[in-house]
Structure 1
Amino acid sequence: MQFFQLITHFIYGTLALWQTLIQGKPNIHNVLTQETDEFIEKVIADWNSPGGIAVAFVRKDDQGRWNIETKGYGRANLGGAKITENTLFAIGSNSKLFTALAVGLLIHNETLSPRLSWNTKVASVIPSWELMDPIATKQATILDIMSHRTGLPRHDFSVKSFDNITDVIKKLKFHRPSAEFRDVWQYNNHMYTILSYLPSVSLQHVTPLERYVKEHILVPLGMYSTTYSRDGLNATGQFVEGTIRQGVNISENPFGNGTVRSIPFDWLDSWGEVGDLYSGAGGVFSTAADIAIWLQTLLLGGINPSTNRSVIPVDVIEKVSAGVTVENGKSAFPELSPTVYGGGQARGTYRGYEIIEHNGLVAGFNTLIARLPFPNLGVAVLSNDHTYGGFITEIIKYRLLDEALGLKRVDWNGRYKAGIKAPNEVKRPIDPSPPPVDFSALAGTYNNHSYGKIELCLVSNNTSLSGACQALLSKAPRVLPGGVELEIPTFLGEFNGMGMMYISISHFDGSLFNVTGLNSIATRDQAEPYWVFKYPTPSNIYAEFAVDDPDFGFGLTGIWGPGRGVLSPRGDTVRERAEVWFDKIL
């Protein structure tokens, strides 16, 4: 019997080798040609990018043979190191697909008790789940939160640097919804934080998402460079630096140099294998070489392209790739279609070809991963340019698709460049009205149950300051150089939010104030130890103060991040029309 098995294995192995030799190379032309290389380098130069990109392109011919191309262009860091196919990028929200597929694997797990399904109510799995809308609390399913139709806008800035997953869950009931349940698509990172919690609460042996994805997806596919681990990034030395241009005058020259800065991940030194809070929504790091494997796997319906073994059930991939919610009911260009959203995937068409894709943005990085299922091709473009990387990745994606599909080229580079304009900025009145009370009366401590406590310190007030305000204003010139307005009555407070470490509230007119988030970024230069990353620029967030009891406080507008066409609240009082309301407590 053993002899027969050996002979059988030998015969099949020989046949497989012979078939490979007969098939030879795939009958597909490369898209990363010298001409394409020159185009990509030109795009990087046209947008004056301080960084670069990595590209992965895969295509299967009608004989089942793959053509795989991966390449790096431009700078990995300000020191001039080159990007390669093995350079690690933060892929941002392209991490969401890993989370959605992990949930799909849990749904396929017949040993779970109770079993999960796409229609499982979130409240039945996570008892502490509660939203402000009681209908959404009771009815929201895994499919609802995966496809962004809970009625909640983003509320990204409610997350604090010291929060964990359970903190996020507890805060949800204090987030004001901006739409009815299942009424409209509204992107919400917190929902993927909730999804990332399911492996821990569903499995008998508590398993964090990061380890579950590693054991059930990454290792079985041979994606050994892809990781959630910050320790692993530091060990490889292959991690690319995020870059941004500071101080560019967009009105004069939107592609000006400004001051080029690097954006490090503040948590790199403290995060290990488990990233916890951020993993589900945007915690994955990967390379062009690994993303090529990922694209092949998705196009093959979950099969490892090297071993031909099924790693992810095909129905799971089909489920998360199918549209549930209308993401965009109107296309931006004639070559595109409206799009629908499933789980970490948007679906539409490009020039008549169905395309399934997603982009990703975290501080310093823009990424895009797309696949066209019927021509059996996929493309990924990874950028370390925070400012314009989102445009650069789109331009290169479309050029490579036009090349691969044999279509007449569209000048996407010219289109996107022509669309860059200075945002409209409302100037402060020359003679603004003062607020109804003295500025010093507005100073103090305010609270929102989700966004937390914040003490507003009047910058120009040198008397009657609390100890905390004295300490903050004393260190501000060093840690927030040029970040605090001195000529306009301004309040400064420590916000401790992700993407908003400090908050500056500067008087505009009457009870209205402009709001800017300030992030203090450390450098390696003793002469200039910090620089300030402002968000947004110019400010489209404003605060409105109310000084009548019991409504002494302020409301923020422009901060919650609603879906397309969703308006801010309306009302007769400041509290009613605020997206986020803070009560004054001290």
Structure 2
Amino acid sequence: MDLLRSSEFSAYVKKIIDHRQIPGIAVAVIQGNGITSTGFGKARVNPLIDFTPDTPFSVGSASKSLTAAAVALLVSDNENYPQVQYGATMASLLPDDFVMPGKDHGDVTVEDILSHRTGMAAHEYSLLGSKAGHPDDARSITRNLRNLSTVAPNRHEYIYCNMMYSVATYLVEHISGMSFSDFLDKHLFQLLKMDSTTLQPSRAQAKGLGARMAAGYLRANAHRELQEVPYSDRPESQGAGQIITTANDYAKWVKAMINREGPITEEIYQSLTKARIEQDPSEVGDLEHSLYYCLGWQAQKYCGYTIVSHDGGDYGSQCDHFFIPELKFGGVVFCNADYTNTTVSQIKYHLVDQMISGRQNGKILQANADSSSLGSEADSESGSEDGQDELELEQELRQELCPGIKTRQPQVLPLSSYAGQYWNPGYKGIKVESKQGVLFADCTDRSLSFTLTFRHVCNQTKYLAFMSENFETNDFPLKAEFVLENNNSILLGLLLDHRVGEYIWFERVNALVKD
């Protein structure tokens, strides 16, 4: 339990903060029945607020371990919910609501949705956020699955899909008759005394935690100035993220897993940590480097031990929570900057390596690292290399659209031939309009909000659409194609999901009348 109290660890983290210009870091360590925690730097830079182990923080996808646990509680309660089993089909549990596309995915089970093996692509840009006329929630996401495409047979491969974790929360709500927030409060948070943990920022604020919440930060421009990211409720991300918690509270959750405390029985623990599918099968069969997805957790071998973990990220934040069952040891690492995924991993493995007696075959041994060996995640965002990569990608996509093309062909047809409302059942509506002499689409009603600026490549039909995502500094190109009839667009295809590998087609449902 002296890992966090050592001057060496404190100096190590402070060096990372200074070198990488990270606002703040909170760390908690669990060993046996004890929790030790500490904080470094600032939760907010204006006004200055210290980052402590009791600072509320958005953990992003690290929320999935709680979602899986909520479902596991239903599965274990055979008296009240005998129909809910890992092998039960989702279609039988949510009749009419859960309908997968096509004829080959009717056998998707509870286990399948929690282990990312349904064959459904991510389809992140299909989710409608709070700015939409009809924002998505867990039920609407579930009902929209039928309108989206799968990319692999069920149980064939690991394909990370946030939507299925939102679907899991709708299952909990439908079966229990409680909101997912209330279910978590009653069956997990209260029992584990996680008093500073909520679902959605508004509930944290309602509990009086708002003034203490860590702000998320990202690099706003080429000068790498910190930009604060505002908190907002995102019901469409329920289950996949949106847990607000503290390092101390999430350490209680990890401790419950390690020691089978509160609602976590041996049966539930085994079901959550059982390897269900290999994430990236190795051709050489290297067990030491194989990573498996369980249910809301990942598992891998490391120096002869098992690490069970799940990282997470939100706008302006990165984190991880983990444990080693054989050692009854675990930890939580929170960083309130979006460029700190490597930092989180380094601190995690620094603690793990210290715990397993500084094995020299460790993954990342940083105990004696100086500032030159730490590198700089912030430097990687300077933009020069990214800009070169994007230029090369743009040239590559142009050749895919129009092989052999040297320069872009001029736009001949009037932009009014393309402007209009377009519709896809799964992705809903997109409005294409003429703006400052180019075709433009404002898709900021999405959960992952973005805009598209179209640049003609060839044939009056093939374009590159430059996507500008919210909170991102660089645009990136994707392929787009219009289908014309009598010199007027009738269809728009957008390559919105690389895993799908083909256009998402939108039908033009009405033209925009020029003022």
Q: Where does residue 528 of structure 1 map in the other structure?
A: none
Tell me how far 1:295 sits from its aligned partner.
1.6
Q: Supply the AA of the counterpart residue of 2:321.
A: I
Q: Supply the AA of the counterpart residue of 1:147.
A: S
Q: Where does residue 426 of structure 2 map in the other structure?
A: 450
Q: Where does residue 169 of structure 2 map in the other structure?
A: 196
| Alignment match of 1:314 (pick from 266, 272, 277) | 266
CA contact (8 A) 2:142 2:167 kept: yes
Asked if residue 145 in structure 1 is aligned to residue 113 in structure 2, the reply is: yes
Residues 1:505 and 1:492: Cα distance change in structure 2 (over 3 Å): same
Q: Where does residue 76 of structure 1 map in the other structure?
A: 43
Task: Report SS of the residue matched to 1:135.
Answer: coil
- Between the aligned partners of 2:245 and 2:485, the Cα distance in structure 1 is 53
CA contact (8 A) 1:53 1:381 kept: yes
Q: What do residues 429-467 of structure 1 show as CA deviations (whole Å, max 9, x unaligned)? A: 784123574433222111111211111111125xxxxxx
Q: What do residues 238-296 of structure 1 show as CA deviations (whole Å, max 9, x unaligned)? A: 11101010123xxxxxxxx42211001233xxxxxxx7543211121111111221121
Task: Report SS of the residue matched to 1:503.
Answer: strand
Q: Where does residue 47 of structure 1 map in the other structure?
A: 20
Asked if residue 402 in structure 1 is aligned to residue 353 in structure 2, the reply is: yes
Asked if residue 440 in structure 1 is aligned to residue 431 in structure 2, the reply is: no
Q: Where does residue 34 of structure 1 map in the other structure?
A: 7
Q: Where does residue 492 of structure 1 map in the other structure?
A: 441
Counterpart mapping for 1:413-492 below 5 A: 414=373, 417=376, 420=380, 422-423=385-386, 424-426=389-391, 431-434=407-410, 437-461=413-437, 489-492=438-441
| Alignment match of 1:585 (pick from 487, 503, 509) | 509
Residues 1:72 and 1:491: Cα distance change in structure 2 (over 3 Å): same
Tell me how far 1:30 sits from its aligned partner.
2.8
- Between the aligned partners of 2:152 and 2:123, the Cα distance in structure 1 is 13
- Between the aligned partners of 2:81 and 2:74, the Cα distance in structure 1 is 11
Structure number with higher relative contact order (C-alpha < 8 Å, ≥ 6 residues apart): 2
CA contact (8 A) 1:331 1:338 kept: no
Residues 1:67 and 1:240: Cα distance change in structure 2 (over 3 Å): same
- Between the aligned partners of 2:254 and 2:172, the Cα distance in structure 1 is 24
| Alignment match of 1:130 (pick from 99, 103, 126) | 99
- Between the aligned partners of 2:79 and 2:508, the Cα distance in structure 1 is 51
Task: Report SS of the residue matched to 2:354.
Answer: helix
Q: What do residues 312-347 of structure 1 show as CA deviations (whole Å, max 9, x unaligned)? A: 222112112111111122499x99611110111111
Counterpart mapping for 1:88-487 below 5 A: 88-112=56-80, 114-127=82-95, 128-136=97-105, 138-161=106-129, 162-203=135-176, 206-234=177-205, 235-236=208-209, 237-248=211-222, 257-267=223-233, 276-300=235-259, 302-303=260-261, 310-330=262-282, 337-386=289-338, 388-407=339-358, 408=360, 410-411=364-365, 414=373, 417=376, 420=380, 422-423=385-386, 424-426=389-391, 431-434=407-410, 437-461=413-437
CA contact (8 A) 1:516 1:534 kept: no
- Between the aligned partners of 1:106 and 1:221, the Cα distance in structure 2 is 18
Q: Which runs of 5+ in 1 are unaligned?
A: 1-27, 61-65, 249-256, 268-274, 304-309, 462-488, 520-532, 563-567, 570-576
Residues 1:545 and 1:436: Cα distance change in structure 2 (over 3 Å): farther
Q: Where does residue 483 of structure 1 map in the other structure?
A: none
Q: Where does residue 58 of structure 1 map in the other structure?
A: 30
Q: Which has the larger radius of gyration?
A: 1
Tell me how far 1:490 sits from its aligned partner.
4.1
Tell me how far 1:160 sits from its aligned partner.
0.7
- Between the aligned partners of 2:323 and 2:283, the Cα distance in structure 1 is 19
CA contact (8 A) 1:505 1:543 kept: no
Task: Report SS of the residue matched to 1:311.
Answer: coil
Q: What do residues 80-137 of structure 1 show as CA deviations (whole Å, max 9, x unaligned)? A: 211001000111111111111111111121333552111011001111211213221x
CA contact (8 A) 2:119 2:157 kept: yes
CA contact (8 A) 2:298 2:309 kept: yes
Residues 1:220 and 1:370: Cα distance change in structure 2 (over 3 Å): same
CA contact (8 A) 1:153 1:561 kept: no
CA contact (8 A) 1:454 1:495 kept: no
Q: Supply the AA of the counterpart residue of 1:212.
A: F
Q: Supply the AA of the counterpart residue of 1:71.
A: T
Residues 1:101 and 1:113: Cα distance change in structure 2 (over 3 Å): closer
Tell me how far 1:349 sits from its aligned partner.
1.7
- Identity rate, percent: 22
Task: Report SS of the residue matched to 2:505.
Answer: strand
- Between the aligned partners of 1:284 and 1:330, the Cα distance in structure 2 is 33
- Between the aligned partners of 1:316 and 1:133, the Cα distance in structure 2 is 33
- Between the aligned partners of 1:264 and 1:331, the Cα distance in structure 2 is 43
CA contact (8 A) 1:262 1:364 kept: yes
Q: Supply the AA of the counterpart residue of 1:297.
A: A
- Stretch deviating more after TM superposition (400-409 or 291-300): 400-409
Residues 1:335 and 1:283: Cα distance change in structure 2 (over 3 Å): same
- Between the aligned partners of 2:279 and 2:114, the Cα distance in structure 1 is 13
CA contact (8 A) 2:119 2:159 kept: yes
Tell me how far 1:400 sits from its aligned partner.
1.3
Residues 1:337 and 1:494: Cα distance change in structure 2 (over 3 Å): closer
- Between the aligned partners of 2:297 and 2:477, the Cα distance in structure 1 is 29
Tell me how far 1:375 sits from its aligned partner.
1.5
- Stretch deviating more after TM superposition (431-440 or 390-399): 431-440
CA contact (8 A) 2:166 2:240 kept: yes
Q: Where does residue 556 of structure 1 map in the other structure?
A: 494
Tell me how far 1:514 sits from its aligned partner.
2.7
Q: Which runs of 5+ in 2 are unaligned?
A: 130-134, 396-405, 511-515
Instruction: Report how many residues are paired.
Output: 470
Task: Report SS of the residue matched to 1:285.
Answer: strand
Task: Report SS of the residue matched to 1:328.
Answer: coil
Counterpart mapping for 1:532-543 below 5 A: 533-534=471-472, 537-543=474-480
Residues 1:389 and 1:43: Cα distance change in structure 2 (over 3 Å): same
